[in-house]
Structure 1
């Protein structure tokens, strides 16, 4: 009897619900019909009318996220953060698509991603709440400074490449000047006939001179964009030669000779560092393997005899 009573009550509630749905207000039905009509109109509309509704994921989600991250990054950054980031971009060669705003926003987004990965890693590695928070904090720090480390690595690689290209570029410049070309034409020869960051910097210097900047000022601007001692010495010598009227060919010849000497000295320095650098892998990897190969059979024979 109890089961029959419960089934009866359920059937009564179902009947009441069906009756309420059947007698729903006309306004609600009209609203539903209007929504369906709007959806059908959007589906049947031309592509030009649906552009705003079919924006790519980057425009709908990534750009607003970047703008919010940029606002947060500007609040937490120092007053000179923009100048320091611009300096890092210049040293890195101004990578395509990288701007001060993008770096600032990337630091905030990186901090959020680092926090998420750090928290997940803490939950997997340990059960202690303190260690989880420490790992999450480390992830935040790494994510926040990841763009700076990336730009630093780009600047480091670019500086090494500039150091390798500079002696040959000065040799070519010396030959061009001694053959009768002016300094600007010699720089243009280097910019057009070579490839790499040094050629890009010389091309930028020539464009600045074409826009009305003086030669000395353009050379100083080049000096500020590149953190290389050899290039600084070259720029200083060129500025002094331009100021005092010293023949450019003679200065370039002296600079070319000094660059070759410095390049040879750097090669000798690296050659002398090889024995020191090879000590660690020799002790921890090569010698143990050698001992196993030499003493292993003897150890096995001794163990068999005992």
Structure 2
């Protein structure tokens, strides 16, 4: 895949907003290597050329298509599909990573509260949480480790927390980062703030679960009507319908 990098460099300009947007998407997907961005652009261009070429070569022997206008239309559609396919895969990767991180937030928050209430500093507690959840939630552990690495590199805690929220891009993490920034700014108790946030977060989780449970019966209506009820109708009425049919034939 290294040959894609020179191809992608023709389309990469580090000064544009599009480059910053894609860089942020890569961070949210868990890729911290900026060298992958030219490879990403190279892959988009390569697929945009490859799919139409494959179809064009096989248009007669496999697809049995000879109309020029239809061939041109399909080539354009395949070129667009090939160009946007990496975007779709990247967003799918981000979505799966967010889901996994979201599932690990409650446990990580509980461990963090325990560590801070036991007397550990916030940064040391975050590092301890990263170690504890390493096996169960590697993406969240990696983000917490990166937060600590930024602090060691000289970045201020508010900036490191903001970057944490941007990389993960989950509302709960952004609220968590804002809480710690405000706590650090005004000098209030971190342990008390974390305990309050943990209780609030747990209440929100219960409310979300209740909301999902309340929506479930409505979502089940269509599958019941289309699949379950017809099967029950056939099972219950089938034997009677067969008997009626035979009775009518005998008459």
TM class, shorter-length: 0.7 to 0.9
Which has more radius of gyration? 1
Give me the TM-score of the superposition, normalised by structure 2: 0.86
Q: Which residue of 1 aligns with 2:8?
A: 70
1:54-203 paired onto structure 2 within 5 Å: 63-64=2-3, 66-67=4-5, 69-71=7-9, 73-74=11-12, 79-94=16-31, 99-119=36-56, 124=63, 126-195=65-134, 196-203=138-145
Q: Could you tell me how far 1:291 is from its partner in structure 2?
A: 2.2
Compute the displacement of 1:117 (Å).
4.8
More helix by share: 1
Structure 1 moving runs of 4+ over 6 Å: 95-98
**Structure 2 unaligned residues grouped into runs of 5+:** none
Report how many aligned residue pairs link the two structures: 243
Q: Which has the higher contact order (CA 8 A, sep 6+)?
A: 2
Q: How far apart are residue 73 of structure 1 and its match?
A: 4.1
**Quick check: 2:9–2:38 contact (8 Å CA) kept in 1?**
no
Which residue of structure 2 lines up, in the alignment, with residue 46 of structure 1?
none
| Residue 172 (structure 2) aligns with | 230
The structure-2 alpha-carbon separation of the partners of 1:264 and 1:96, relative to structure 1 and needing over 3 Å to count, comes to: farther
Q: 2-side partners of 1:285 and 1:122: how far apart?
A: 39
> Structure 1 stretch 254-263 or stretch 242-251: which is displaced more?
254-263
**TM-score of the two chains, using structure 1 as the length reference:** 0.72
Structure 1, unpaired ranges of 5+? 1-61
